[in-house]
Structure 1
Amino acid sequence: MKRTVLICVALLCANTIFSQEIFKRTLKLMGSRFEITVVANDSTEANNYIDMAVGEITRIEKLISSWDPASQTSEINRNASIKPIKVDEELYNLIGRAIEISKLTEGAFDVSFASMDKIWKFDGSMTVMPSKEAIKESVAKVGYKNIILDPENFTVFLKLEGMKIGFGAIGKGYAADKAKKLLMEKGVSAGIINASGDMNTWGRQPDGEFWKVAITNPMDKNKAFALLPLKDNAVVTSGNYEKYVTFNGVRYTHIIDPRTGYPATGIISATVFAPKAEIADALATSIFVMGKDVGIDFVNQLPKIECIVIDEKGEIFTSKNIEIETLKK
């Protein structure tokens, strides 16, 4: 009798799983295109969950936006060189992690990059390179070492006048992570938060298959060169297929090295796989700045992080735990 009951329960669970469907909503958040996907029993349930994710992302935007004068981030920037600003523990911890990534990448990623003067234009209007003096001056106020944190009072102080912090390189990834965490806590079995290409997934599709991500071919952005499964993982791609300038035969991307003020060269696409979109977001940018060889060697030293890099010739390179033969099939 017990065995019969167990079999019935198992069949009931299986029917429940396969009765679920995939629901999506696309909208503009944080100034970017977000696509929120959830697996749910019906559209009413799905819309409720998606509304929760939208609310969480909106909350985070209000906290970290440097464009909103009422945000704590703007308050920090306004008081650079003047006084420390007390912030919420969540923002304090995010800034702390950003500083740690800055240290880890030796400044290839720098949360104070917002201090940089925008002297490079990637809209077709540039006809000559900026002078060496202008480039040097553009990064004079950049430097994560000049951010002072007080862990007892949760204050943040920028030492230099005119210095700023910004979350353009990790903000959308962080929002994707937080939305995923919330939905998992609410019982959503599977889904994807796609924050303008910063993707974080969990669970499986209703048919039991893992979610798959297409890696864009930067030589033809309408095609993919690989389709890879994502197993409760995040993936972020940074590319310069559209925003770049060319001087003297050298292609300069819109991703600027915050240490030198010069745009990155040599890479046209960097894709990073990581447990969280926040770290994948920061590292994808960092690899561009570091360059192919240094970037891949750096990733090979990090646990649970992998990358795919495409150089300006269209050649594909990967970290040690991704089979390049598989990608070429």
Structure 2
Amino acid sequence: MKNLFTFFILLISAVGISQQTYNRTQKLMGSRFDLTVVAKDSAQANAFIDIAVGEIKRIEQLISSWDPNSQTSKINANAGITPVIVDSELFDLIKRAQGISKLTDGAFDISYASMDRIWKFDGSLSKMPTEEEVLNSVAKVGAGHILLNASETSVFLELKGMKIGFGAIGKGYAADKAKELLIQHGVTAGIINASGDMNTWGKQPNGEDWKVAITNPMDKNKVFALLPITNGAVVTSGDYEKFVEFDGKRYSHIIDPRTGYPSIGIISVTVFAPKAELADALATSVFVMGKETGIDRINQLPNVECIIIDDKGNITTSKHIEIEKL
């Protein structure tokens, strides 16, 4: 789950500016989307935003595991039975997801949807699940069981009852595709904010970069850093609202798909990347991998940066990021 630790500060002067920013908030993919475009007037802006909304709805129909008629649902329904031929767009998305799973040593895995939901973060969990329950919960999880046939663009889940889901990258992917389409239609600048999965391009009407403020999860009323962002994406993943504690140890709602146990030690991860899809996946992965392994992995990736806040309030950053502290 992505928490809204990040938000954009728009510093716009109306003097001498022919274009302005226009914003619309709309519920899409079951979440809040804030769509901002730079346009000459409201009519043009609304036409642009309608294009973005249409694209996001198209993506939802393709990847939704709740819609029984979606290609993703058909893949899940045929797990352990037969391969399903899908559109090349969905095939490529699954292939990239497998690549990220390999990159993160399985910390990211779209077959997490197969997990039994034994961990409750609504206050009802009174004791730790047993080791057997935890092991059983991930028995059908594993990206290696997703078999892809490129010549047929087919997808086959080897295990009966296995499922895939795009909750960890779906909104990021939708933000990327909406941005891409708007650029094709001549939108020079804007922001797609998919419930905290943010993608930007261009500059504000006054020529300044968009700026992202990072909120301290130890105190949601305080911002500890302000960073410019140009033609890129930023995603924050956090557990400050959803966690459980046993014997003085805090367990995040973000579950390690390899072990079935919640991640520990980190309360916030912010990732900057060229695309929201990648930033989305890596934010979750760093949570699972832990601070040291996560930062090391991020430092090996080009054009990707990361800010981690641990459960003691310590801030760790990747080697090329510069924080403008407030």
Q: TM-score, normalised by structure 2?
A: 0.94
Q: In the alignment, which residue of structure 2 is the partner of 1:47?
A: 46
Q: CA deviation at 1:27?
A: 0.9
CA distance in structure 2 between the aligned counterparts of 1:319 and 1:308, rounded to whole angstroms:
7
Q: In the alignment, which residue of structure 2 is the partner of 1:25?
A: 24
Structure 1 SS opposite 2:222: strand
Q: In the alignment, which residue of structure 2 is the partner of 1:172?
A: 171
Q: CA deviation at 1:222?
A: 2.5
Residue pair 2:215, 2:221 contacting (<8 A) in 1 also: yes
Q: CA deviation at 1:322?
A: 1.4
Q: CA deviation at 1:101?
A: 0.5
Q: CA deviation at 1:328?
A: 3.6
Amino acid at match of 1:266: G
Amino acid at match of 1:272: V
CA distance in structure 1 between the aligned counterparts of 2:101 and 2:310, rounded to whole angstroms:
24
Amino acid at match of 1:253: S
Q: In the alignment, which residue of structure 1 is the partner of 2:5?
A: none
CA distance in structure 1 between the aligned counterparts of 2:62 and 2:99, rounded to whole angstroms:
20
- Structure 1 gaps, min length 5: 1-14
Residue pair 2:307, 2:317 contacting (<8 A) in 1 also: yes
Q: In the alignment, which residue of structure 2 is the partner of 1:137?
A: 136
Q: In the alignment, which residue of structure 2 is the partner of 1:316?
A: 315
Structure 2 SS opposite 1:208: coil
Give matches, 1:107-256, under 5 Å.
107-256=106-255
Q: In the alignment, which residue of structure 2 is the partner of 1:265?
A: 264
CA distance in structure 2 between the aligned counterparts of 1:131 and 1:122, rounded to whole angstroms:
16
CA distance in structure 1 between the aligned counterparts of 2:234 and 2:45, rounded to whole angstroms:
24
Identity of aligned residues (%): 70
Q: In the alignment, which residue of structure 1 is the partner of 2:286?
A: 287
CA distance in structure 2 between the aligned counterparts of 1:52 and 1:233, rounded to whole angstroms:
20
Q: In the alignment, which residue of structure 1 is the partner of 2:93?
A: 94
CA distance in structure 1 between the aligned counterparts of 2:165 and 2:236, rounded to whole angstroms:
20
Structure 2 SS opposite 1:95: helix
Larger RCO, structure (CA 8 Å, separation 6 or more): 2
| Root mean square deviation, CA, Å | 1.3
Amino acid at match of 1:131: T
CA distances 1:245-300 after superposition (whole Å, capped 9, x unpaired) = 00011100000000000000000000000000000000000000000111001100
CA distances 1:125-159 after superposition (whole Å, capped 9, x unpaired) = 11101000000000000000001000001000000
State which structure, 1 or 2, has the greater radius of gyration over its C-alpha atoms. 1
CA distance in structure 1 between the aligned counterparts of 2:294 and 2:62, rounded to whole angstroms:
31
Q: CA deviation at 1:318?
A: 0.2
CA distances 1:139-197 after superposition (whole Å, capped 9, x unpaired) = 00000000100000100000001000000000000000000000000000000000000
Q: CA deviation at 1:227?
A: 1.2
Amino acid at match of 2:273: A
Would you say how many aligned residue pairs link Structure 1 and Structure 2?
313
Residue pair 2:111, 2:142 contacting (<8 A) in 1 also: yes
CA distance in structure 1 between the aligned counterparts of 2:98 and 2:119, rounded to whole angstroms:
25
CA distance in structure 2 between the aligned counterparts of 1:112 and 1:327, rounded to whole angstroms:
38
CA distances 1:291-311 after superposition (whole Å, capped 9, x unpaired) = 011100110011110000000
Structure 2 SS opposite 1:187: coil
Structure 2 SS opposite 1:112: helix
CA distance in structure 2 between the aligned counterparts of 1:166 and 1:185, rounded to whole angstroms:
29
Residue pair 2:226, 2:325 contacting (<8 A) in 1 also: no
Q: CA deviation at 1:225?
A: 1.0
Q: In the alignment, which residue of structure 2 is the partner of 1:81?
A: 80
Amino acid at match of 1:316: I
CA distances 1:59-98 after superposition (whole Å, capped 9, x unpaired) = 0000000010010000000000000000001000000000
Q: CA deviation at 1:220?
A: 1.2
CA distance in structure 1 between the aligned counterparts of 2:23 and 2:325, rounded to whole angstroms:
31
CA distance in structure 1 between the aligned counterparts of 2:205 and 2:107, rounded to whole angstroms:
40
Q: In the alignment, which residue of structure 1 is the partner of 2:276?
A: 277
Structure 2 SS opposite 1:222: coil
CA distance in structure 2 between the aligned counterparts of 1:180 and 1:218, rounded to whole angstroms:
28
CA distance in structure 2 between the aligned counterparts of 1:286 and 1:32, rounded to whole angstroms:
21
Amino acid at match of 1:102: S
Q: In the alignment, which residue of structure 2 is the partner of 1:5?
A: none
Structure 2 SS opposite 1:134: helix
4+ runs deviating over 2 angstroms? 326-329
Q: CA deviation at 1:327?
A: 4.1
